[in-house]
């Protein structure tokens, strides 16, 4: 039996420690192809490059890999070009990450890591986004490697329901402190923006976007609750955005 | 009674005919504030600007408006900076568009127009994204103006369910040919990519992303069906991406 074909991407760029850790784990599960951004692409959401060209560079950061590429585009571009220009067949799994920082709750919307996984899902590939709640470049991925492997193995074994991908977030804890895995719903949360207004040397004003994450959800079945209480959160995510429950009400409007 | 406060943005840039048409209509319904990108931001998805500064410029494209700004950021940045730095109170409505081109079915995921509306929704503002199925800069928005006004009026009157925004697409038809409005679900569809591979003058390869839209959905309750059959489609869209129906199955896994 041939080994599973696994496509790996991320949004922190191909040299990020998070993707290198993910590659290490996935090599134990199958044949790995890496196509990842040549520069950081955090918070790019589901952006694609239509008004500019894309560059693809074969690289050899991992001597054991035959196919490793850096791409000038967004995470979603990476998945598209991998599927259409590099891979000879549809991969059995696409994994994105491991992101340096949380993609829980509403962050799923802004996340390049998750958008790459969603894009793979749209193309019919079972897909998982992995994120660790540690923004540091020196984040320690060792404690979560066995969990990453186990979750990916289960997806390879069971597949995923059509139109569903997984958003997996890990608390920043030691292996012993992690209490287990919880299947969760996305917590209701938002970012409270604070724009940092400055003046440039020419006297012109400009802004930096900063913000504070606010969890508006008291539920104990959410990803935020799981992570705060020492669990790994897995949220099944869909890209059919239809709010079916709202359709009846809209049908009563005068339109 | 004070007039409703309406925030307007888009992704085709502040000078696009689509947003100018939208401004014309909204001035009939309330006090209008415009904050829109200073350059085209199509296909930016839910990207935000965190690794660069944002510039905000007061402009006077419409002499009747007191508050009109161009912003160097993405559509989502525009909404964030409008709500946090420009508006004195939460607006009663946020409208995005009118987009030059379709944002039906899976396009909702890639669309800057829709992401601006989603961002407003996250911030608790009733929001609508409007798109016309005509990519041309010379697209004719006249036939749809009364519908845009009616739909916005209904949202101002009724509000929207929490966590729901509207994705409104108009067929490219004359006023007489438009058959009416249908409340729809998002059609299952995807883009089949075709990368156009070229060689630059230095002999280096590069790519243009192109593609073909493929509707995989035979349903007559979808936005694609409605548009193909002469109707305006309205899809209620949610940003809780949890695939609740998949949770039970995942709970049976060995994790």
- Could you report the per-residue pLDDT of B107-135, keeping only the tens digit for each? 999 999 999 999 999 999 999 999 999 99
pLDDT at B174 over 90: yes
Select from A39, A40, A48, A186 the residue whose CB has the most chain B CBs within 10 Å, as the one to mutate to test that interface. A48
Average pLDDT score over chain B: 95
Mean pLDDT of B173-186: 98
Closest-approach residue (CA) in chain B for A55: B206
Peptide bond into B186 cis (omega under 30): no
| B49 contacts in chain A (CB < 8 Å) | 43, 209
A150 Cβ partners below 8 Å, 6+ apart?
Answer: B254, B255
d(CA A1, CA A8): 22
Mean pLDDT of A110-129: 96
| B160 contacts in chain A (CB < 8 Å) | 246
Query: Over pLDDT 90: what percentage of chain A?
Result: 90
Residue B129: strand, helix, or coil: strand
Q: Domains of chain B, with CATH numbers?
A: 5-187+219-241 (3.40.1210.10)
Q: Report CB contact under 8 Å: A53, B206.
A: yes
B254 Cβ partners below 8 Å, 6+ apart?
Answer: A150, A154
pLDDT of B175 reads 96
Residue B76: strand, helix, or coil: helix
pLDDT of B45 reads 81
Average pLDDT score over chain A: 95
Helix (H) or strand (E) segment spanning residue B211 = strand B205-215
Query: Over pLDDT 70: what percentage of chain B?
Result: 100
Count Cβ neighbours within 10 Å for each residue of A187-215 and write b for 16 or more, e otherwise. Answer: bbbbbebebeeeeeeeeeebbebeeeeeb
B10 is in an annotated binding site: no
Residues 67-96 of B with CB under 8 A from A: 73, 76-77, 80-81, 83-85
Q: Would you place residue A49 in the very low, low, confident or very high pLDDT band (cuts 50, 70, 90)?
A: confident
| Phi-psi region at A145: left, alpha or beta (left = phi > 0; alpha = psi -120 to 50) | alpha
d(CA A238, CA A65): 32
Helix (H) or strand (E) segment spanning residue A80 = helix A75-81
Q: How many CA atoms lie within 13 A of B231 on its CB side?
A: 18
Please give the ipTM for the structure prediction: 0.93
d(CA B14, CA B62): 11
Q: Chain B within 8 Å of A247 (Cβ-Cβ)?
A: yes
Q: Report CB contact under 8 Å: B236, A246.
A: yes
Alpha carbon A12 to its chain's center: 10
Q: Chain A within 8 Å of B208 (Cβ-Cβ)?
A: yes
Q: Report CB contact under 8 Å: B247, A253.
A: no
Helix axes B17-26, B145-158, angle to 10 degrees: 50
Q: Would you place residue B92 in the very low, low, confident or very high pLDDT band (cuts 50, 70, 90)?
A: very high
pLDDT at A36 over 80: yes
pLDDT at B64 over 90: yes
d(CA B115, CA A43): 13
Q: Could you give the C-alpha distances from A209 to B87, B116, B199, in angstroms and in order? A: 16, 16, 38
Cross-strand bridge partners of residue B97: none
Residue A126: strand, helix, or coil: coil
| B255 contacts in chain A (CB < 8 Å) | 150-151, 154, 180-181, 234
pLDDT at B8 over 70: yes
Q: Chain A within 8 Å of B196 (Cβ-Cβ)?
A: no
Query: B204-244: per-residue pLDDT in tens?
Result: 999 999 889 999 999 999 999 999 999 999 999 999 999 99
Mean pLDDT of A197-207: 92
Q: Which of B48, B77, B110 sits opposite A46 (nearest CB)?
A: B110
Measured in angstroms, the CA of B1 and the nearest CA of chain A are apart by: 23
Largest CA distance in chain A: 67
Helix (H) or strand (E) segment spanning residue B120 = helix B112-122
């Amino acid at each position: 039996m041939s080994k599973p074909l696994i496509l790996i991407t991320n949004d922190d760029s191909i040299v990020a420690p998070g993707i290198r850790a993910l590659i290490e784990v996935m090599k134990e599960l199958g044949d790995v192809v890496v196509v990842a951004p040549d520069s950081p692409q955090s918070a790019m959401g589901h952006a694609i490059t239509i008004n500019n060209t894309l560059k693809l560079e074969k690289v050899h950061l991992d001597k054991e890999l035959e196919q490793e590429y850096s791409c000038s585009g967004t995470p979603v571009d990476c998945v598209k070009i991998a599927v259409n220009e590099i891979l000879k067949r549809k991969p059995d799994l696409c994994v994105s990450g491991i992101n340096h920082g949380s993609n829980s709750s509403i962050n799923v919307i802004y996340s390049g890591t998750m958008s790459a996984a969603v894009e793979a899902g749209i193309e019919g590939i079972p897909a998982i986004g992995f994120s660790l709640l540690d923004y540091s470049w020196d984040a320690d991925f060792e404690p979560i490697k066995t969990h990453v492997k186990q979750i990916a193995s289960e997806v390879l074994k069971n597949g995923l329901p059509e139109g569903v991908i997984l958003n997996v977030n890990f608390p920043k804890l030691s292996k012993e402190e992690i209490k287990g895995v919880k299947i969760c719903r996305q917590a209701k949360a938002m970012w409270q923006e604070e724009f940092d207004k400055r003046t440039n040397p020419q006297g012109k004003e400009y802004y930096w976007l900063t913000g504070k994450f606010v969890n508006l959800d008291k539920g104990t079945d959410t990803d935020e609750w799981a992570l705060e209480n020492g669990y790994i959160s897995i949220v099944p995510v869909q890209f059919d955005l239809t709010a079916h429950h709202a359709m009846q009400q809209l049908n009563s409007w005068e339109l």
